[in-house]
Amino acid sequence: MCSSDLPLSLPEVCQDLADKPAIVRSRQEEERFARHLVFGGYPSVWLSGNPETLLTDLLEAMVLRDASDLFRIARPDAFRQLLRLLAGQTGSLVNLSEWASVLGISRDTVASYLDILESSHLIVVLAPFAGGKRVELTARPKVFLLDNGLRNRLLLDFRPLEERTDAGALLESWVATELWKILPDGATLHFWRSTSGAEVDFVLARGDRILPVEVKASRSERPLPSRSLRSFLEAYQPPTALVLNLNLAHSVRVEETAVEWILPNQLARRSQGGCLLRGSPYPLNPRIAASTPSRTQTSQASAARRIISSAISCSSGAKGARTKSARSSYFTPPSGATPRRRRGTSAVRRFSMIDSRPRWPAGLPARRMRSFPKGRLTSS
């Protein structure tokens, strides 16, 4: 799939509104956001007057031609069912055993199908953010479909957000793919979850800088940060945090962090202005700093793996059972230790541990905002 076949972001479908009066631009941005949320951003679908039919054709072409024929899938029925499963459980943690049981195939086959879907640019895989805190869950990634139009076609539900029972999942899926499309150079996209159940939907990371993003589909009366977001802010003290919602545009300060409530179109404007991940770096855990000499060039996930590996190698006694199960050559060994080399990386290991950092697909030219003639960004 070439770069021109990938879904358009909201800034790309709204680029012709820049010269319009603010009131007109704001109203049309809201209208285009509503359409983008339901029908996605594939160029042919966006320009079509009958997007539902075109999404059906597009899905069949991708599944039958690009996936089944190209990768010679032995069980196309299970492959289709996996797509529907991902659509219904968007943003959920990868559970190979459960999905294998539902689909009637092996864990290895499920993992290989996920790998095919990612290679075909149909899903986005987010690794958990690991900043060196012991209370964090760092084992399994999350999966999102890359385009909301395909998700809604798989669910056979094209109702607007206000009428949906899955409004939260729909909006979260849209934010995940939009952030993936507008990631700054060198940045990675994650989510954060603690063992106590606190969770932040998304965390953008680049070197020492992080930006937590929380998504709220319900309308908020007052700008009050959630407990989960407060837990993250207490742990990392980022300079800025975003709460994407549908009705508030406000800013409050929580200790050292400016928490901004923004609307969907404002997220697009921040990305265009280069404001994502701008600000002072967050304070790194001293152990991570000691083990990462050039941390501006190393992701936080890599640094965390070194710390976990060091902790595993030093643990003993009562922790022996946990150490044995947790020790893996996946983690980079501490300096001076004899590395335990793996003979290969299976797809099962890839989707069972941290191993995916969403980036612009390898082999494609750097993403640039596509330009369209005026009047061609609205459906016929």
Q: Report the percent of the chain where pLDDT is more than 70.
A: 67
Place of tokens 């230790």: 337
- Please tell me the pTM assigned to this model: 0.75
What was the pLDDT predicted at 5?
74
Q: Which of 234, 121, 4, 344 has its CA nearest to residue 226? A: 234
Q: Are 192 and 219 in contact (CB under 8 A)?
A: no
Question: By mean pLDDT, which of 3-7, 96-100, 260-264, 312-316 is the weakest?
Answer: 312-316
- Would you give the DSSP letter of residue 55? H
Cβ–Cβ < 8 Å for 40, 149: yes
- Does the pLDDT at position 101 exceed 80? yes
C-alpha span between 7 and 41 (Å, rounded): 4
- CATH classification code of 3-272: 1.10.10.10
Give pLDDT, residue 240. 94
Instruction: Summarize the confidence of residues 133-160 as an average pLDDT.
Output: 88
How many Å apart are CA 315 and CA 55, to the nearest integer?
Answer: 53
pLDDT tens by residue, 247-302 = 999 899 998 899 999 999 888 677 665 556 654 444 433 333 333 333 333 344 44
| Sign, CA torsion 148/152/153/155 | positive
The confidence band for 135, taking pLDDT boundaries of 50, 70 and 90, is: low
- Kindly report, residue by residue over 315-355, the tens digit of the pLDDT: 333 334 333 333 232 223 334 433 333 334 456 666 665 44
- Residue owning tokens 């800013």: 251
Can you give the residue ranges of every domain in the chain?
3-272, 286-337
Is the per-residue pLDDT at 65 higher than 60? yes
Q: Hey, CA dihedral for 270, 271, 277, 278, is it positive or negative?
A: negative
Tokens of 148: 């909301």
Inter-CA distances, 59 with 20, 67, 84, 228, Å: 35, 10, 12, 37
Helical spans, DSSP H, in the chain: 10-13, 22-39, 43-46, 51-60, 70-71, 76-88, 96-103, 107-119, 148-155, 167-181, 227-236, 264-272, 286-291, 300-314, 320-326, 347-352
SS3 363: coil
CA distance 45 to 62: 14
Tokens read off for 1 = 């799939």
